Structure 1
């Protein structure tokens, strides 16, 4: 199971820096498990993206996320996100490019039927391996989100997590 999950993560993470007129497909798959004493927390997330590169350095598209969180003694929580993103990429050479994704959209969670908005800015590095296949690296970004539930007070979060997270992925560019 762990090998299959690792293969899925490797094949589906992030979107490629591409050429004008191409379609970009990608996303992230993540899993985490935490145990403190008798309490266990399990988290699985799938976040696909689809975009179109409309100019040499600009890509726009849609993104989504489905997350399941299981905590000992509590009901399973499901979280959903749907929104758009825009990417600006700058080639440094034939092999390296840097890019930044700006995403924003709607989110909801099954816990107390909460709904809200999210926004994030994530800089990253793309390494072109061969024929549009490449590796993507990011080390965090800036995140904002809010949630309003039926019986809970409004929640707002602002995060600056450069260096706290590390993502690596494989991507493919599909020319039209």
Structure 2
């Protein structure tokens, strides 16, 4: 029950207040760790984005990611992503807003020159600190990706990872 309440609080806290005609500049830092038996993996992600807020609630833009994946006993890999996103924001007050990002794009993996695509949906909470500068909080989302290397089997992943991951980001709205 405590995890559910924490999840709901973080979900509500990640809402972003969009301002029509402004440019959104932001980014997230994420960390995930998983241990199954003796196998352990850790992921670190940096994801900048820039978008144009064409209505009070809708933003569209470009996103990218650099993801470092380390699995115990295996080679460390890096994954790069570039794509687009659309955001719907619902202001709750002058301080808090809830938003959901839907992103899709192209990805590569440093091992065996693998390539593929990704799609993700991430609900989040925005806390307006001052003059359009704020903090973003997310505790996971829904994601799908696939990747195919020259000598490797095609990999497809579908994830529903609410409460399993946590990311913190910053954003700034600039009026045009």
* Structures share fold, TM-score greater than 0.5: yes
Aligned to 1:10: none
Aligned to 1:6: none
**Alpha-carbon spacing, 1:30–1:138, altered in 2? closer, same or farther (3 Å):** closer
| 165-174 or 123-132: bigger deviation | 165-174
Cα RMSD of the aligned pairs, angstroms, is 2.7
Matched positions, count: 162
Mapping 1:113-128, distance limit 5 Å? 113-128=113-128
Structure 1 residue runs without a partner (length 5+):
1-13
Secondary structure (helix, strand or coil) at the match of 1:55 reads coil
**Alpha-carbon spacing, 1:149–1:41, altered in 2? closer, same or farther (3 Å):** same
Mapping 1:27-46, distance limit 5 Å? 27-30=27-30, 44-46=44-46
Report which structure shows greater RCO (CA 8 Å, sep ≥6).
Answer: 2
Aligned to 1:169: 169
**Contact (CA 8 Å) 2:28, 2:168: kept in 1 or not?**
no
Whole-Å separation in 1 of the counterparts to 2:122 and 2:150: 31
**Contact (CA 8 Å) 1:102, 1:119: kept in 2 or not?**
yes
Aligned to 1:65: 65
**Contact (CA 8 Å) 1:45, 1:66: kept in 2 or not?**
yes
Secondary structure (helix, strand or coil) at the match of 2:112 reads helix
| 128-137 or 152-161: bigger deviation | 128-137
Residue 19 (str. 1) matches residue 28 (str. 2): no
